[in-house]
């Protein structure tokens, strides 16, 4: 084990924020010198696959952390369904009473209000899932009462400097420095949910991005040239973000007060090594020997191969390896199958009791994990005893994914002995109920809205005879004549990056000058683009990409000045039908058209634009680039038109039809586009 260096005196260094999905990882974070630890509960956590914590257990761990001058943050960072507001309120009240954490990490706008009502008085941190991606959005975050914003992983160092400089007084920033990287922008991925209700916004993502996809080559080839082979690979499976020595550049950004390490599903070995490495990189940034040791520790942390992604704009790296396995863990061996079918491995290094192995890659349905119960020397033999239905092929890779070396076990035992003397606190039932906004009485219905993907070349658009025409706001669409502009509903993009903000603001100013009065904001932070216009001169709608799913969140949007809202199409039918009766705003819903499964800033990494590609079970998808982002679509559109009478009867006053034109030759998928309407949102 590496001796942890003592911290030299310095001026308010950023905290090292460690993940913990179980008690041992929590203790490993403290032992490694983390300044703060973030955890999840058994409910309302965006990492529901982690073991997570009960309140009594967490109260003892929090007391231990506080006794050593460390902080504890708790993630209640999931989307809140309509019927879950009271449960979230009660849990937040018990958490404040029983654990007294130093911060609460939230995604849903509802939690900003609910947590305060529940008596939580410490910091409220907006998760990266809340999609605060550009400087003006920071103003809205502060206006809503947030004390910290967790920045997206896609920002470059220059963009981080812009966010740091724009951060208003009373608000702080947190950025990721290490850990798993998603292909899609946080808060802009519905891939897992669209394929079966297991939502990433609810902490239940099954990681479809990690799977193998195939795209057929063109059936035609020039004369005399061989036909191209089909493309296949893990095009969307990202490597792990690792800024390592580059974190030194963050020290000059005073508003970035926290360096976050991702990994609440990781074990104590990972947590201890990564925290130790980043402490050295922060505290001894100018020491070449310390930097070398830190890199060695990161190599031993059992993560995926590293990437710096977009951090250095001049050297933006491809964050995926389509032809690789992009698996977490250290390659330890390959499966050997004897003539009689028995399987074994000969490891490349010593295996220790308590080590944990994974046979195969995570996206292979038969992959297995198993503990090592005895020491196996390098090139020794370990027999594999797996269930009959798990039969890996000869040569299948075996990865070491967690390690319990004796030195770390001894350190954890010392900390465990200390916690054994601390009593766990209990709290009684919560009798109070949250105060929710008053529901709207008899909302008026509005015309349907038809959202067109683009303005045809050389043509002017006209207001639809069957409803309102809506356009995505772009330089091209904003060039329409002044006679048309006032009749259009202007949709802002779902993601705005720092380098896009100024141009977008100019377009909005131009449209306002030309008479535009109706806009759809697709993130609450986009409210900052617009003035507080008196007398109803400006009508702002909260778009479906705001992921609005409950009455409390709708109340927050109303307080921001929104006149109406489009609810998340991710909701199950039961939840969708229940929402209008509790809503303080008129509601609409996207009823037809292609809804993306995800939006990414990382580009098309091996997949051809506007051409179908298929998943491992034959599902059809396609991709298209809009501005600086790639939109991934399923091969079948969303279609709730048969549900329209029920939705209208429930109180929905307007409906949106997305007129996105799919690629020519897209095979017709044999699936209904109901999203989760007839299923459930897990």
Containing H/E element for 175?
strand 172-179
Residue 9 scores a pLDDT above 90: no
Span 588-598, average pLDDT:
97
pTM of the full structure:
0.94
Nearest of 452, 462, 443 to residue 586 by alpha carbon: 443
- Looking at per-residue pLDDT, the higher value among 126 and 390 belongs to 126
Torsions phi, psi for 95 (to 5 deg): -65, -45
pLDDT at 507 > cutoff 80: yes
> What is the residue whose two structure tokens read 């809804």?
595
With contact defined as beta carbons under 8 Å apart, do 362 and 327 qualify?
Answer: yes
For domain 15-183+234-311, give the CATH number. Answer: 3.20.20.70
- 8-state DSSP, 579: S
Nearest 5°: phi and psi at 66? -65, -35
In order, the DSSP letters of 114-162 are HHHHTT--SEEEE-GGG---SHHHHHHHHHTT-SEEEPPTT--HHHHHH
* pLDDT above 70: residue 646: yes
Q: Report the pLDDT value the prediction gives residue 274, as an integer from 0 to 100.
A: 98
* Percent helix, strand and coil across the chain, each to the nearest 5: 30, 20, 50
Domain positions in the chain are 15-183+234-311, 330-403, 449-659
Q: How many CA atoms lie within 13 A of 70 on its CB side?
A: 23
**pLDDT 10s digits, 136-148:** 999 999 999 999 9
In this prediction, residue 461 has a pLDDT band, given cuts at 50, 70 and 90, of very low
Q: Assess contact for 133 and 528: CB atoms under 8 A.
A: no
Q: Residue 459: what pLDDT?
A: 44
Q: What's the pLDDT band for 50 if we cut at 50, 70, 90?
A: confident
With 60 as the cut, is the pLDDT of residue 464 above it?
Answer: no
CATH of 449-659 among 3.20.20, 3.40.50, 3.30.1380, 3.90.550: 3.20.20
Using the predicted structure, report yes or no on whether residue 575 has a pLDDT greater than 70: yes
Q: Give the model's confidence band at 219: pLDDT under 50 very low, under 70 low, under 90 confident, else very high.
A: low
Query: CATH topology of 15-183+234-311 equal to that of 330-403?
Result: no
Which of 581, 587, 545 shows the shortest CA–CA distance to 562? 587
Please tell me which residue, 260 or 316, carries the higher pLDDT value.
260
Say yes or no to pLDDT of 657 above 70: yes
- Is the model's pLDDT at 114 over the cut of 70? yes
**How many whole angstroms from its chain centre is CA 14?**
23
pLDDT digits (tens, 9 = 90+) for 320-373: 888 877 788 999 999 999 888 889 999 999 999 999 999 998 777 788 999 999
The confidence band for 408, taking pLDDT boundaries of 50, 70 and 90, is very high
- Pairing status of strand 397-402 against strand 330-334: antiparallel
- The 3 state secondary structure assigned to 373-389 is CCCECCCCCEEECCCCC
pLDDT value for 201: 96
Query: CA–CA separation, 399 vs 333, rounded Å?
Result: 7
- Checking 577-580 for CB contacts under 8 A at 24+ apart, the result is 577/646, 577/647, 577/650, 578/82, 578/83, 578/650, 579/82, 579/549, 579/550, 579/551, 579/650, 580/443, 580/650, 580/651, 580/652
- Average pLDDT (217-243) is 76
Which pLDDT does position 380 carry in this prediction? 95
Check: CB of residue 329 under 8 Å from CB of residue 349.
no
**pLDDT score of 409:** 93
69-78 pLDDT, tens digit per residue, is: 999 999 999 9
- Percent pLDDT > 90 in the chain is 79
Please give the Cα distance from 362 to 343 (Å, whole number): 20
Average pLDDT over residues 404-423: 92
Q: How does residue 227 score in pLDDT terms, banded at 50, 70 and 90? A: low
pLDDT of residue 326: 78
pLDDT at 463: 45
| CATH for the 330-403 domain, from 2.40.30.10, 3.40.640.10, 2.60.40.2550, 1.20.1260.10 | 2.40.30.10
* Mean pLDDT score, 398-413: 93
Out of 45-59, 275-289, 565-579, least confident range: 45-59
Contact 595, 568 (CB under 8 A): no
pLDDT of residue 258: 98
């Amino acid at each position: 084990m590496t001796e942890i260096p003592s911290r030299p005196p310095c001026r308010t260094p950023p905290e090292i924020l460690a993940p913990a999905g179980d008690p041992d990882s929590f203790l490993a974070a403290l032992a490694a010198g983390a300044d703060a630890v973030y955890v999840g509960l058994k409910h309302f956590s965006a990492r529901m696959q982690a073991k997570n914590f009960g309140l009594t257990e967490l109260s003892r761990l929090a007391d231990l952390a506080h006794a050593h001058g460390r902080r504890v943050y708790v993630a209640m960072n999931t989307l809140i369904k309509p019927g879950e507001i009271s449960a979230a309120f009660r849990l937040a009240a018990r958490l404040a009473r029983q654990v007294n954490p130093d911060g609460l990490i939230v995604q849903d706008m509802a939690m900003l209000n609910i947590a305060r009502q529940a008596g939580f008085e410490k910091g409220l941190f907006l998760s990266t899932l809340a999609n605060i991606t550009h400087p003006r959005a920071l103003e809205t975050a502060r206006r809503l009462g947030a004390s910290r914003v967790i920045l997206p992983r896609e920002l470059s160092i220059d963009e981080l400097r812009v966010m740091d400089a724009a951060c208003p007084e009373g608000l702080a920033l947190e950025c990721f420095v290490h850990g798993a990287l998603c292909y899609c922008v946080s808060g802009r991925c519905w891939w897992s949910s669209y394929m079966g209700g297991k939502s990433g916004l609810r902490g239940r993502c099954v990681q479809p991005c990690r799977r193998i996809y195939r795209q057929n080559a063109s059936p035609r080839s020039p004369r005399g040239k061989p036909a191209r082979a089909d493309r296949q690979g893990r095009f969307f499976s990202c490597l792990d973000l690792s800024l390592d020595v580059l974190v030194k550049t963050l020290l000059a950004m005073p508003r970035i007060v926290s360096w976050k390490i991702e990994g609440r599903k990781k074990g104590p070995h990972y947590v201890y090594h990564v925290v130790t490495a980043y402490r050295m990189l922060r505290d001894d940034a100018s020491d070449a020997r310390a930097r070398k040791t830190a890199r060695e520790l990161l190599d031993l942390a059992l993560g995926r191969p590293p990437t710096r992604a977009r951090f250095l704009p001049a050297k933006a790296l491809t964050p995926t390896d389509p032809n690789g396995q992009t698996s977490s863990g250290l390659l330890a061996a390959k499966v050997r199958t004897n003539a009689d079918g028995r399987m074994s491995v000969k490891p490349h290094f010593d295996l220790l009791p308590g080590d944990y192995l994974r046979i195969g890659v995570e996206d292979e349905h038969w992959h297995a994990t198993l503990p090592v119960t005895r020491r196996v020397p390098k090139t020794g033999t370990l027999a594999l005893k797996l269930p009959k239905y798990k039969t890996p092929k000869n040569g299948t890779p075996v990865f070491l994914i967690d390690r319990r070396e004796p030195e770390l076990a001894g350190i954890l035992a010392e900390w465990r002995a200390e916690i054994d003397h601390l009593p766990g606190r209990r709290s009684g039932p919560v009798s109070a109920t949250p105060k929710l906004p008053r529901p709207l009485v008899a909302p008026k219905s509005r015309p349907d809205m038809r959202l067109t993907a683009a303005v045809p070349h050389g043509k002017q658009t006209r207001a639809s005879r069957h409803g309102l025409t809506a356009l995505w706001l772009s330089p091209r669409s904003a060039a329409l004549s002044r006679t048309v502009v006032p009749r259009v509903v202007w949709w802002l993009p779902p993601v705005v990056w720092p380098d896009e903000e100024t141009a977008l603001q100019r377009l909005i100013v131009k449209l306002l000058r030309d008479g535009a009065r109706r806009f759809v904001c697709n993130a609450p932070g986009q409210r900052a683009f617009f003035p507080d216009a008196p007398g109803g001169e400006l009508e702002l709608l909260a778009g479906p990409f705001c992921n609005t799913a409950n009455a409390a969140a709708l109340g927050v949007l109303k307080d921001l000045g929104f006149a109406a809202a489009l609810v998340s199409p991710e909701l199950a039918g039961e939840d969708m039908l229940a929402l209008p009766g509790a809503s303080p705003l008129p509601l609409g819903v996207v009823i037809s058209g292609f809804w993306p499964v995800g939006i990414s800033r990382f580009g098309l990494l091996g997949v051809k634009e506007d051409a179908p590609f298929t998943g491992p079970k034959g599902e059809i998808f396609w991709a298209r680039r809009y501005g600086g982002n790639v939109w991934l679509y399923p091969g079948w559109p969303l279609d709730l038109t048969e549900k329209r009478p029920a939705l209208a009867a429930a109180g929905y006053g307007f409906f949106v039809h997305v007129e996105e034109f799919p690629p020519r030759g897209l095979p017709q998928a044999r699936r209904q586009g109901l999203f989760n309407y007839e299923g459930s949102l897990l």
